[in-house]
Amino acid sequence: MSAPILWIVTPFAAGVLILFLLREKYSAWAGGTLSAILALIALIFPIDTAMLLGSISIKISPSIQFFGRSFEFSIADGPLLAIIYGLAALWFFGTEASGTANRFVSLGLMIVSLLTASIAVEPFLFAALLLEIAAMLVIPLLVPPYQKPGRGVVRFLIYQTLAMPFILFSGWMLAGVEASPGDLGTTTQAGAMLGLGFAFLLAVFPLYNWIPMLMEEASPYASGFLLWVLPTFTVIFALGFLDRYAWLRTTPQLASAIQFAGVFMVASGGIFASLQRHIGRMLGYATIAETGLLILIMGVRSSEIVNLTFLILIPRGLALAVWALALSIIKRSAYSLRFSEVQGMARSYPIAVGAIILSHLSMTGFPLLAGFPARLAIWQELAGQSLSTSIWVFIGMSGLLVAATRTLAVFVMVEKEKKWGLNESWVQMSMLGLGMIGLFILGMFPQILQPFLADLPLLFNRIGQ
């Protein structure tokens, strides 16, 4: 068995089979179980290393050839695959509770497998094409057949499509820059094209206007999945660029530009979140602020860039899954996520409301929650480098905290006579309960992530130097 067949072809084929053969009722369990098994295999069996299971020798070969190019995983990819498929399992198990299992699991599996292929493809810049194909597969998730597509979806499609040519062409130009590093003109052009490509992909200010729009017009669970999966793989793709091209890491102007883009996203995301009257849009702005943090880290002069990035990405996956699941439960009852519609729901949906508040607080970096250790580490790095950057990040995080407080105030704003009740189903309560416990565990015992994080810097071993 080769690694690309196991982690790319198998989930893709399973997605196709689930779409055509399996009933909606069982798809969540099938997709979730498959993803969990793939995560466990990635964790237990090292790639390209022979292992003895009793009398049987097992070895997962690292690569396959496809149309003259190779798809290749290294031994260091194991923890990354475990994280990706572990978090994907969480999302797929949650589909039944969210009531969005229809096509979610099958398309989700195909999307995750295509994005996993983007990590493995050589030359790595071809990943831009796989990201684009995955983005197109997201569209049926966001727009059910009975719903007219809104502007957010259309803008999402346009921006993702515009990103691909910029990335592909800049990749070709970067090869020229490597050959003649003194050519300032080519270097500037390549840097500008690469920057534009990633600005579209990561929805850098002002290109993030589709995110809040999408959160209003599409299912919160599908939108949340999109906001988890695409930025995660795009950030890994961006780290690949930083790792391979030394001048990207060492040019001070470029580092400043990356930092500026990140800080602007954190500050604007936080401030705009605090001004919203729609809890779906708040999630959108919170993800924008967090993507800003990821971009900011890439611009920081530190040997801990990879560790910090993954220290954010793992809790982000959990917090977003819990938040999106809780929102979709609330939306099924309230039909709209505006403040006026969800007012007082803390008494009728206490678990879902608790999950929303805890996830929101986790993304603000509230102590004891999953986002806190990562924020603490980032503050530590930023404090030593730039006071103004630290202040702007603080403003952004404060904005998110204000948004969480306003949300909580609206949820508990109710007449005294209204009785408490548990309207969530047992599946919803267990999924949200487990998620909330996970948020506390990751916040209080971040060292449990160490087995995953320990080997990840090997994937980008030149960044840390």
Partner 1 sequence: MALDIVSWLAVGLILATSTTILITRDWRISLGSLAVQYIAVFWLTSRHLPFVMGSVKLIAGWMVVAALGMTRLGLTSMDKEEEDTFWPRGQWFRIILMLIVTLVTVGATPRVEAAIPGLGFPVIAGGLLLVGAGVVHLGVTSELLRVALGLLTMLAGFEIIYAAVESSILVTGFLAVTNLGLGIVGSYLLIAGSTPLESEEEL
Contact footprint for partner 1 (CB under 8 A)? 66-69, 102, 126, 129-130, 132-133, 136-137, 139-140, 143-149, 151, 153-154, 157-158, 161-162, 164-165, 168-169, 172, 185-186, 189
User: 200: which residues sit within 8 A by CB, 6+ positions away?
Assistant: 159, 160, 162, 163, 166, 207
Which letter does DSSP use for residue 458 in this model? Answer: G
Rank residues 36 and 133 by Cβ distance to partner 1 and give the closer one. Answer: 133
CA distance 292 to 258: 10
72 strand-pairing partners: 63
Rank residues 150 and 457 by Cβ distance to partner 1 and give the closer one. Answer: 150
CA distance 434 to 442: 12
Residue 289 C-beta: closest distance to partner 1, Å: 28
Residue 372 C-beta: closest distance to partner 1, Å: 37
Contact 320, 326 (CB under 8 A): no
Contact 294, 309 (CB under 8 A): yes
Rank residues 29 and 45 by Cβ distance to partner 1 and give the closer one. Answer: 29
Which letter does DSSP use for residue 446 in this model? Answer: G
Residue 150 C-beta: closest distance to partner 1, Å: 10
Phi, psi of 5 (to 5 degrees): -65, -40
Rank residues 189 and 386 by Cβ distance to partner 1 and give the closer one. Answer: 189
CA distance 203 to 205: 7
CA distance 356 to 345: 12
Rank residues 26 and 169 by Cβ distance to partner 1 and give the closer one. Answer: 169
Rank residues 185 and 206 by Cβ distance to partner 1 and give the closer one. Answer: 185
DSSP assignment string, 364-422: HT-TTSTHHHHHHHHHHHHHTT-HHHHHHHHHHHHHHHHHHHHHHHHHH---TTPPP--
Map tokens 């999630």 to a residue: 283
Residue 177 C-beta: closest distance to partner 1, Å: 12
Structural tokens at position 247: 């001048």
Residue 16 C-beta: closest distance to partner 1, Å: 15
- Coil, strand or helix at 121: strand
Residue 464 C-beta: closest distance to partner 1, Å: 31
Residue 124 C-beta: closest distance to partner 1, Å: 13
Rank residues 73 and 166 by Cβ distance to partner 1 and give the closer one. Answer: 166
Phi, psi of 69 (to 5 degrees): -120, 160
